[in-house]
Chains A and B, each alone.
Chain A
Amino acid sequence: MKSPGLLLALPTALIVLLLGFVPLIVILVWSFWTWDPATYWIRPEFSLAGYAAILEAGRWSVIVGSLGKAFLTAAICVVIGYPAAMAVHFLASRRTALLLMALFTIPFFTSYMIRAFSWRLVLGRNGLINGWLMDLGIVDQPLDWLLFSNFAVNVGLVASYLPFVIFPLILSMQRVEPSLLAASQDLGASFWRTFRSVLLPLTQAGIFAGFLFVFVMAAGSATEVQMLGGAAASMISVMINDVMRVVNFPLAFAISTVVLIILFGLIFIGNRLFKLTRLFEGFTW
């Protein structure tokens, strides 16, 4: 072998290939096989039945609905996470910044089941919020739509994935030289003008990276919908779970393939538009 670098990279490359690429190929290939309802097993015969079944039984609308929920969650996370990241990066001292980041992370030490469940205690008919609202006399009857609704699902998703948008944002803000903001101010720009014309454009890679992290994870989430959503609420992963009860690999993999293509497309477009890879150049943490 000519270069030792290639040799050194080989184990890593093998692991990536084995753990990442091979399963994807399996998913892709099996999604075109035939499922035999008689034996509950698959045969290596080409078939588009899996893809056709996506259009049945409202599965397509679950996919669209899931992506919609994921989009909304990611958007809300960016809107909440941006000021939070600014507070950590611009306002806080080094110590407070560490403390704040720890606070963002600590909820992740508990099980995601417990985290989702705890929202029931907050949003339920006899929960914290309804209690306050009634005590303050704002409502007479407890609000029903707080729990087991799309609202509750979105609250749960935002709360779960907010840190994933904050960290890339902080990372991207660290790459903005403070003198650029000073220069903007020096040239007469107000805080908002500087924010809009300098900070936002220079952190768009972080915004997109954070958005994407949250979007991908929210699109693949199941717990929040199961614990907080209404009876009819479904999510892609819940649907795949249902399909796998009858071991219908082709349909499950067809759904996965469609979702994967959408996600990869999103990453590809994002990288083109926002130079996502640049965010991780000179990573210094």
Chain B
Amino acid sequence: MAIAIGIDNVTRTFGTVKALERVGIKIGAGEFFTLLGSSGSGKSTLLKLIGGFDRPTTGRVLFDGQDVTDMPANRRPSNTVFQDLALFPHMTVGENVAYGLKVKGVAASERKKRVDSTLALVDLAGFAERNVNVLSGGQRQRVALARALVMEPGILLLDEPLTGLDERLRQQMRDEFGRLHQRTGSTFVLVTHNQDEALSLSDRMAIMHKGRIEQVGRPADFFANPANDFVARFVGMERVLKPERLERSGGDTVAIIAGERLVLPGARDVGEMGLLAVRPDRISLANGHAAPGSSLRATVAGRQFRGRFFDFYLELGDGQKLDAEIPVEFADAWPEPGNPVRLEFAGGALVPVPASGTAPNRDT
């Protein structure tokens, strides 16, 4: 049975360092929830608190509304796939997977049945007798998953489980997580620093930074309404422009930037001092009849071939830099580096964001 998790105003300090500061999240039963952040953001500390390997300095951890803050890891209905997998090197694949059941006192025949079916679930049928130390990275990953899943946990915690795998395996295991989440119906909590993983797998995710939650929401929210420029950068909008000011006009936002007016149709109101996150895939070369207020003057500073597209490095009149991703077939129309160019901004190319630090911690 999937279990809902409540993180209630949790702070965890190590000496003078605040690893987590007044964090509050509610994770629904059966949800695939991702904690996304760079190293030192507190995401692993939070996962340890959920798993029961550490205790909050203040605040509570709730499973289905019940306070489990003082419950040790071995009594919690959660299981973990560790970053280094932590497979027992002195046991076979089967013994590794059976370990938790054995501890629990499940009878040998029942144990074998469940181990075999779980190994089949992770595509390792017939691997029970193998030596775990000589398996490939992907196989070891699957053993670690099976060892946790065989316990039929209400909560499965995944601590950066894809780190150290090559790109192809990473892709493959990522799909596997999605499939297993569907199959088991458990609550999955994934910790990662990889935004692709977070975006493709999560029902909802939280971006963490310096022990605080910057934003919680569905993956698409982070692009449409980033809580601040940190979040915008973290989900891949690397360039954030600082306009002279933002104005409201009807339902639209108007940016005064580099001496020109740019209308952002339907963009939200983030106040006069807001910033603009750039989506490089929505910028193109303005042709002769661009609508007024939808383009800006810039200079081409350089370009780089990226396979399916070119990255154009651009500079606005006031010296601010931005990038544009231009499909290969349109790149020829662009002027050589050093020349002026007129940029057209499609809807949503510039996303208004409040500046960092002005966004309160909030739960959605």
A-side residues, CB < 8 A to B, are: 177, 179-180, 182-190, 193, 197-198, 201-202
Contacts and interface: CB of A to CB of B under 8 A. Distances in A.
B53, B74, B90 interface centre (most CB from chain A within 10 Å) = B74
Interface in B26-85: 51, 53, 72-75, 78-80, 82-84
B103 A187 contact: yes
Contacts of B99: 184, 187, 189, 197
A189 B72 CA distance: 11
B160 to A, nearest CB: 12
Instruction: Pick the most buried of A184, A185, A187: most chain B CB atoms within 10 A of its CB.
Output: A187
Contacts, number: 58
16 contacts: A177-B86, A179-B83, A180-B88, A180-B89, A183-B88, A183-B147, A185-B74, A186-B148, A187-B74, A187-B99, A187-B151, A188-B75, A189-B99, A190-B74, A197-B99, A202-B90
Contacts of B82: 179, 182-183
A187 B147 contact: yes
A182 B84 contact: no
B104 interface: yes
A189 B100 CA distance: 7
B89 A187 contact: no
A188 B103 contact: yes
B86 A180 contact: yes
Nearest to B79: A186
Interface residues of B, number: 24
A183 B86 contact: yes
Contacts of A190: 74
Nearest to B157: A186
Contacts of A179: 82-84, 86
Nearest to A186: B80
- From DSSP, what is the main secondary structure of chain B's interface residues? mixed
Contacts of B72: 185
B242 to A, nearest CB: 44
Interface in B204-243: none
Interface string B122-160: 000000000000000000000000011001000000000
A184 B89 CA distance: 12
Contact of B73 (A185, A197, A198): A185
A177 B86 CA distance: 8
A182 to B, nearest CB: 6
Contacts of A186: 51, 53, 73-74, 78-80, 148
A117 B100 CA distance: 52
Nearest to B89: A202
Contacts of B73: 182, 185-186
A207 to B, nearest CB: 14
Contacts of A180: 86, 88-89
A188 B151 contact: yes
Contact of B74 (A177, A188, A197, A198): A188
Contacts of B88: 180, 183-184, 198
- The 9 tightest CB contacts between A and B, nearest first, are A187-B100, A179-B86, A183-B86, A188-B103, A185-B73, A189-B103, A185-B74, A179-B82, A186-B80
Nearest to B98: A187
A190 B100 CA distance: 11
Contacts of A184: 88, 99
A185 B72 CA distance: 9
Nearest to B77: A188
A197 B99 CA distance: 9
B353 to A, nearest CB: 38
A201 B90 contact: yes
A202 B74 CA distance: 20
Given A179-B84, A182-B53, A182-B82, A188 B100 contact: yes
Contacts of B80: 182-183, 186
B103 A193 contact: yes
Contact of B79 (A187, A193, A198, A202): A187
Given A183-B82, A188-B151, 6 more contacts: A179-B84, A180-B86, A180-B89, A183-B147, A187-B147, A202-B89
Contacts of B148: 186
Contacts of B53: 182, 185-186
A180 to B, nearest CB: 5
Nearest to A190: B74
A134 B244 CA distance: 91
